[in-house]
Amino acid sequence: MKSCIFAQAILLMSILLLTTAALAEDHTGKGALSTTVDDQTTLSVTVYNVNLGLVKDHRTLRLPSGRVELRFMDVASQLIPASVSIRSLSDEESLSVLEQNYEYDLLSPQKLLDKYVGKEVKLSYKNPYTDKEEILKATLLSNNVTPIYKIGDEITFGHPGRVIFPGVPESLISRPTLVWLLNNKLADVQKVEALYLTNGITWRADYVVTLNEKDDRADLAGWVTIDNKSGAEYRNAQLKLIAGDVHRVKEEVQYREKTMRVAAAAPADSAFKEESFFEYHIYTLQRPSTIKDNQTKQISLINADNISVKKELIFKGSNYYYFNQYSDQLPKQKIGVFIEMQNRKENSLGIPLPKGTVRVYKRDKDGSLQFIGEDSIDHTPKDEKVRIMIGDAFDVVGTRKQTDWKKIAKNIYEASFEISLNNHKKEDAVVKVVEPIPGDWTILNSSHEYKKTEAFTAEFLVPVPKDQEVKLTYTVRMKY
């Protein structure tokens, strides 16, 4: 009797051990755990102005001990799989990655049909004679261009019926998903960080400059424009922007065409904190922000009033004028209009300005703002100049002709020019004439003073009274 009871006890212990072992087996396959944005605790997004974003997604999870398959959902559809990583914030040694996959075979009518080729489906259609909905069983033979079905013993295509599928194949998912095979050693709640780079999100700076009546003062408003086509929404994200020319390996990336909508601009008091970072500058938004997918969002970056600016009229030549003799008048050239400002603290600026587009406005006599031109600027450190090309002058025109050209020696030449500047405005103007002279040069004579601003550049400041013409003449000797 005792031996029988002992045998039963051994049997019960064996069953218990087997049950425990079964519970400790891998939680993979159909029993995989899923995590969505609902588990998210914090989200950080760093956006680069080279169509790249860095996402740090923090979530709180309950994972069983041992090997577990984790489906990490609500990630960007344009993420770069090779950049993905996950780590434990609770205990870094408690979580290790055995495998990681990025599944992006998204559910669609076309792919659903592809997965059911060779399988049975149902076709629901309205019988034209009975006006009743009928259902046929059919085998999908092919899905090239149009589905081909076998119904009974007959083959057909172009069937008007609505296709009914018995289920969704496991290989198709409704949204992009990261899948990790993890080894978890922490029995308590795991706080994890998923980190990845994604294409499809970028930012740029947009500036609005409003000139005063005399064109010597201006107000500047700067905006950050974020364009998100990464395939994910970033809710209440901690937002940082990197300004600088970050090098990237060029890859062939196809981007989906998506509809863009513009979000309402943030109020003017929303500000970024700027600081140096490596060889770049980083701008941190001082509040959370939501960036929706397929959204262009603008956030205030800078506001500066009463900035001192200088308007310049520039007439620029070309160095090919100096190499040969021209008997006819040289082609007419436009006189460019530029606005220049100093990015200095004493000029109400003095912060690194990210590259972007500057749009310039001015009020007309009725007090209405009118657009007068735009230009792009590069990344501009503090204490540097910002020069904006507005357009070409209408009432100030210039022409030039070569009045003499001769070869003095084997490699020595002389050339003479006459530049006519006509001012048809109602006020006086000053035209900066910029001459790119090649070789080792010396101006032998000139009707106006000049400065050698660079090795191959001479600049003349020529006052031109209203409704008058002024001629600039000079002769230059060149050795090359």
- Supply the pLDDT for residue 451: 95
Residue 259 has pLDDT above 50, yes or no: no
Evaluated on CA atoms 242, 244, 247, 253, the torsion sign reads positive
| Mean pLDDT, residues 112-135 taken together | 85
- Supply the pLDDT for residue 294: 93
Q: Assign 413 to helix, strand or coil.
A: strand
- Supply the pLDDT for residue 270: 40
Give CA–CA dist 260/228, Å, rounded.
9
Most distant CA atoms of the chain, gap in Å: 131
Q: Which two tokens stand for residue 239?
A: 């937002």
Evaluated on CA atoms 283, 287, 293, 299, the torsion sign reads negative
Judged by average pLDDT, the poorest of 5-14, 157-166, 306-315, 409-418 is 5-14
The DSSP letter of residue 30 is G
Q: How far is CA 326 from CA 195, 220, 319, 408, 476, in A?
A: 64, 46, 13, 17, 15
- Supply the pLDDT for residue 191: 95
pLDDT tens string 186-198: 988 999 999 999 9
Model confidence at 167, pLDDT cuts 50, 70, 90, reads confident
The residue ranges of DSSP E strands in 66-115, in sequence order, are: 66-73, 85-88, 95-103
Looking at per-residue confidence, does 400 or 265 come out higher?
400
Cβ(319)–Cβ(436) below 8 Å: yes
Percent of the chain scoring above 70 in pLDDT? 86
pLDDT tens string 28-75: 444 578 899 999 999 999 999 889 999 999 999 999 999 999 989 899
Give CA–CA dist 80/94, Å, rounded.
26
Query: Residue 8: how many CA atoms within 13 Å on its side-chain side?
Result: 5
pLDDT tens string 60-71: 999 999 999 998
Cβ(209)–Cβ(303) below 8 Å: no
Percent of the chain scoring above 90 in pLDDT? 56
Q: What is the pTM of this model?
A: 0.70
| Mean pLDDT, residues 234-252 taken together | 83
Give CA–CA dist 168/136, Å, rounded.
20
Residue 262 has pLDDT above 70, yes or no: no
Looking at per-residue confidence, does 247 or 51 come out higher?
51
Give CA–CA dist 447/418, Å, rounded.
10
